[in-house]
Structure 1
Amino acid sequence: MLKVTIWNEYIHEREDEHIKKIYPKGIHDCIAEFLGREKDIEIQIATLDMYEHGLTEEVLMNTDVLIWWGHRAHEKVEDVIVDRVKKRVLQGMGLIALHSAHHSKIMKELLGTTLNLRWRHGDRERVWCIDHSHPIAEGLPDYFELENEEMYGEAFDIPKPDDVIFLGWFAGGEVFRSGCTFTRGKGKIFYFQPGHEEYPIYYKPEIQKIITNAIRWAKPINMNNAPLECIGMPPKPEELLEKNFQ
């Protein structure tokens, strides 16, 4: 089984009546519901207010791919938890950062830039698939539309991605690298822009398909549970020969 942990702040859905109507049990529950239909995926839920934000050593040791949704409380995530997640990504755990998670501590720590961008509320977005050869794009059309979404626009302060799979075009004319992959250590990272909490984005079939594909793409290959260390190399063969003949 592919073990997936869904992490969500779970603040907007409890404090805003409009958002509560869209995601009555939280964004994490919506994502868990469609992933739960996949027979090879096992799901855990973690939220900000849980002990150690729900991301204990035990939970992360039993996580193949971590999904992260955050917005209002990035700074409330304890640094020790960020370091713990970073360690697991470097060891091979996959990370999928959704929407405002671009500004999360873990993404800044792993990518090393500000991840700043241009934004405004409320616009129509057309999401173009510009790399149909990538596994995350499997089964996706050339494009699909979101009638309402928060506009994210370039410039987007990220390091050069390994792949840009999706490009968002907004009715106001802006464009955005809306689906990018990165590799850090042995871990695969996918950042995906759609998912503003005020709109029912995660109910859309194309969005669900992309997240499901991303989980399977990001799963670990030969995850290393031990920390990487500098290891001294044995002597060169000629050095051994010289030593033996002395």
Structure 2
Amino acid sequence: MLNVTVWNENRHEQKNPKVREVYPEGIHGAIASFLKEEAFQVKTATLDEHEHGLSDEVLNGTDVLIWWGHMAHEDVRDEIVEKVKQRVLDGMGLIVLHSGHFSKIFKTLMGTSCDLKWREADEKERIWIVDPSHPIVEGLGEYIELEKEEMYGEHFDIPAPDQLVTVSWFEGGEVFRSGCTYTRGHGKIFYFRPGHETYPTYFHKDVQRIIMNAVKWAKPAERKKMVYGNALALEEIKGSH
């Protein structure tokens, strides 16, 4: 069984009644709820918990970490970010959602500003599936349509994705690389754009399906421990002394 930890800064829910109305159990609670239906072992963690809810015990027991943050990126302690980064490099999967593009962990792993254009105008988002063979979009049609979402637009300052899975179009005219995969070290990373806190995006069945598929895709590969550093020759080297 896959062990999934859903991390959410959980600040909007405390400060904004509109967000509490949409997500009474918090964004992390909504995501954890549908993941449990898929028989994953799910924990949640939030910013204001001790060690942001990401102790060594929690991280070492996590196969895939889901990250949602927005208004409090700078409140995440650097030493926790470093621990998460090392777990990704060691093989833990990481799924970064919506405004997590500006999180310390995503920017650290990407090595770029991860900046973009944005607009809140209650506009339609059509998420086109541009790699229909990818397991993250298994079971879906040509596109997902969200009646209202926040716009993110290009240029999105990220490294070229290993695989571009979805591209979004917005009613105002912009497009955006909205579903991107990466590998860093032994870990798999998926960035997925939709999920503004004032819209019920995480209750949309197709959005849920992509996140559930992404968890399965990002799970750590079973492998023997890799060996680094100075290595003895496997074969006799002629002429060596």
TM-score under structure 1 length normalisation: 0.94
Q: Summarize the alignment of residues 5-20 of structure 1 with structure 2, pairs less than 5 Å apart.
A: 5-20=5-20
Instruction: Please list the CA deviations of residues 162-199 of structure 1 after superposition, one character each: whole Å capped at 9, or x if unmatched.
Output: 11111100011100000000000000000000000010
Q: Spell out the pairing of 1:69-148 with structure 2 (5 A cutoff).
A: 69-122=68-121, 123-148=123-148
Shift of 1:155: 0.3
1:179: which partner in 2? 179
CA offset digits 1:64-122 (Å, max 9, x no partner)? 00000000000000000000000000000000000000000000110100000011102
1:1-246, aligned counterparts within 5 Å? Answer: 1-39=1-39, 41-122=40-121, 123-222=123-222, 230-235=228-233, 237-239=236-238, 243=241
Matching residue's letter, 1:84: K
The runs of 5 or more residues in structure 2 that have no matched partner are: none
Partners of 2:43 and 2:223 lie apart in 1 by: 19
Q: Distance in 1 between matches of 2:87 and 2:154?
A: 30
Shift of the alpha carbon at 1:14?
Answer: 1.4
Post-superposition shift, 1:238? 3.1
Q: Secondary structure at the match of 2:209?
A: helix
Query: Which amino acid letter does the alignment assign opposite residue 230 of structure 2?
Result: G
1:161 & 1:139 partners in 2: Cα distance? 22
Q: Secondary structure at the match of 2:48?
A: coil
- In structure 1, runs of 5+ residues without a counterpart are none
Aligned equivalents of 1:11, 1:233: Cα separation in 2: 49
Question: CA offsets per residue over residues 144-173 of structure 1, 9 Å max, x none?
Answer: 211110000000000010111111000111
Cα distance, 1:17 vs. partner?
0.7
**C-alpha separation between the residues in 2 aligned to 1:128 and 1:238?**
54
For normalisation by structure 2, the TM-score amounts to: 0.96
Which whole-Å CA distance do the structure 1 matches of 2:221 and 2:228 have between them? 21
> For residues 108 and 218 of structure 2, what CA distance do their matches in structure 1 show?
19
Q: CA deviation at 1:16?
A: 0.5
1:7 and 1:45 in contact (8 A); partners too: yes
**How has the CA–CA distance of structure 1 residues 97 and 223 changed in structure 2, closer, same or farther, with 3 Å as cutoff?**
farther
* Structure (1 or 2) with the larger CA radius of gyration: 1
CA–CA distance in 1 between the matches of 2:240 and 2:136?
55
Q: Percent identity?
A: 56
Tell whether the 8 Å contact from 1:92 to 1:223 is kept in structure 2 after alignment.
no
CA distance in 1, matches of 2:32, 2:12: 18
Give the whole-Å Cα distance in 2 for the aligned partners of 1:102 and 1:14.
22
| Deviation, structure 1 residue 233 | 2.1
- Separation in structure 1 between the aligned mates of residue 103 and residue 223 of structure 2, nearest angstrom: 24
CA distance in 2 between counterparts of 1:22 and 1:143 reads: 24
Find the aligned partners of 2:204 and 2:188 in 1 and give their Cα distance: 24
Q: 1 CA distance for matches of 2:222 and 2:70?
A: 32
Quote the Cα distance in structure 1 between the aligned partners of 2:71 and 2:41: 28
Counterpart contact for 1:186–1:223, Cα < 8 Å: no
1:204 and 1:233 map into 2 onto residues whose CA distance is: 51
Q: Is the partner of 2:125 in helix, strand or coil?
A: strand
Deviation at 1:2, TM superposition (A): 0.2
User: Structure 1 pair 238/33, CA: closer, same or farther in 2 (3 Å)?
Assistant: closer
The CA distance in 2 between the partners of 1:106 and 1:190, in whole Å, is 13
Runs of 4+ in 1 over 2 A off after TM superposition: none
Give the RMSD, CA atoms, in angstroms.
1.5
Q: Distance in 2 between the 1:223 and 1:84 partners?
A: 21
